[in-house]
Amino acid sequence: MPPFWAAPPLTNHSRSGELEFVLLGFAHVPSLRPMLAVLFLAAFLLTLLGNTLIVLLTSLDPGLRVPMYLFLRQLALVEICFSLDVAPRLLVTLLRPGRGMYPTSCALQLLLVLSCVTTECLLLTVMAWDRFLAICRPLHYGTIMSLRLCHLLATTCWLAGIPVSLVFTIWLFNFPYCGSRGIRHYLCDIAPLLSLVCADTRVFEASVFVATVLIMIIPVCLIVMSYTRILAAVLQMPSASGRHKALSTCASHLIVVILFYGTTGVIHLRPKSSYSPESKQVVSLSYTMVTPMFNPLIYSLRNKEVKAALVRVFIQRRGTFTP
């Protein structure tokens, strides 16, 4: 009997455009698939609901039309795109195991995953810089963070990931694939696809490492520098209430940064690391399903302005439709 990750083999060597891939996510726990499908469906719906609510609140409430919430809206949009790219295919994999997917579909999913990860990395860095300016340069904040600059930064974050994602997706799918066509993951990602390639991928892996350092490690360093300066400025504040308010505005963002970078770094810094495919699936869930679901909760439950805006918007809407 073949192992659980086996899939119908390819004949000789085949290009990726001539075969169907099969996602084998959670094939090692077949009895848990129905329960996992229910849990992931609930997480998917909560993610869409929570992030859509953030987008609506920051768009409709005048009190949230400031740079911090403009970037928060962009982050919520990224999480919605991320979830729409990953969750439906994950549910199909759990409910209809063994169903193939065309290489173009796999490549598109990989392209969107890489683009969303890159955009989120840059957005989190911009949000940290925004908090640094607001707390450490309050007198110049309004002048520096103009509406035009905010829109320019947001647009740059969205567009920056596209060329990098295109290069690595096209490069990866031009390798020859042989052997099993089963991807031991619930999504098309670099690491599980590399395990199917029957060619020398050392240059590709080195390029992925360099890109990861540029896109993830450098932003992390900038975020750490920003929060170091913020902490130093907060500790010098004479008022305890001022210190508490300054730290509370940064705490939510810092939690999201730790959740996101702590898991994506493990996966993308070493795509052919010694971690088992099953371990990588669990780690990947942290930034593909868990973080997008918790982001709205983290920002809303810890943020009095968001909770107040929620009340204002619903009262306003109820008053509008009351005869």
**C-alpha pair distances (Å), 85 with each of 76, 108, 137, 237, 254:** 14, 9, 39, 44, 25
pLDDT above 50 for 16: no
Total Cβ atoms within 10 A of residue 37: 17
Q: Quick check: 293 and 47 in contact, CB under 8 A? A: yes
The pLDDT of residue 280 is: 73
pLDDT in tens, 118-135: 999 999 999 999 989 988
To the nearest 10 degrees (0 to 180), the angle between helices 147-172 and 67-95 is 30
pLDDT above 60 for 225: yes
Q: Mean pLDDT over residues 208-225, rounded?
A: 88
Nearest to residue 19, comparing CAs of 238, 196, 167?
Answer: 196
The pairs formed by 92-98 with CB atoms below 8 angstroms and a separation of 24 or more are 93/23, 93/24, 93/25, 93/26, 93/186, 94/25, 94/26, 94/33, 94/34, 94/36, 94/37, 94/40, 94/186, 95/33, 95/34, 95/37, 97/24, 97/27, 97/30, 97/33, 98/7, 98/22
pLDDT band at 12 (very low <50, low <70, confident <90, very high): very low
The pLDDT of residue 302 is: 61
- How many residues does this entry show for the chain? 323
The pLDDT of residue 227 is: 87
Distance CA 254, CA 215 (A): 18
Average pLDDT, the chain: 82
pLDDT band at 116 (very low <50, low <70, confident <90, very high): very high
pLDDT in tens, 263-279: 776 666 655 555 666 77
pLDDT in tens, 100-115: 888 999 999 999 999 9
pTM score of the predicted model: 0.85
pLDDT above 50 for 11: no
pLDDT over 90, % of the chain: 34
Structure tokens given for 269: 């810094």
Q: In sequence order, what are the residues at sequence separation of 6 or more whose Cβ sits closer than 8 angstroms to the Cβ of residue 300? A: 50, 53, 54, 306, 307, 310
The pLDDT of residue 169 is: 96
pLDDT band at 168 (very low <50, low <70, confident <90, very high): very high
Q: Mean pLDDT over residues 91-105, rounded?
A: 88
The pairs formed by 64-71 with CB atoms below 8 angstroms and a separation of 24 or more are 64/305, 64/306, 64/309, 67/130, 67/145, 67/150, 68/127, 68/130, 68/131, 68/134, 68/249, 70/150, 70/151, 70/154, 71/123, 71/126, 71/127, 71/130, 71/150, 71/153, 71/154
pLDDT above 50 for 6: no
pLDDT band at 318 (very low <50, low <70, confident <90, very high): low
The pLDDT of residue 13 is: 42
Structure tokens given for 322: 């009351």
pLDDT above 60 for 10: no
Matching residue, tokens 């009351």: 322
pLDDT in tens, 277-294: 677 787 788 888 888 888
The pLDDT of residue 15 is: 45
pLDDT above 70 for 151: yes
Q: Quick check: 187 and 86 in contact, CB under 8 A? A: yes
Dihedral angle of Cα 106, 109, 115, 121, to the nearest 10 degrees: -110
Distance CA 34, CA 95 (A): 7
**C-alpha pair distances (Å), 281 with each of 7, 219, 272, 298:** 18, 25, 14, 24
pLDDT band at 76 (very low <50, low <70, confident <90, very high): very high
3-state SS string for 216-253 = HHHHHHHHHHHHHHHHHHHHCCCCHHHHHHHHHHHHHH
pLDDT in tens, 188-210: 988 889 888 988 999 999 998 89
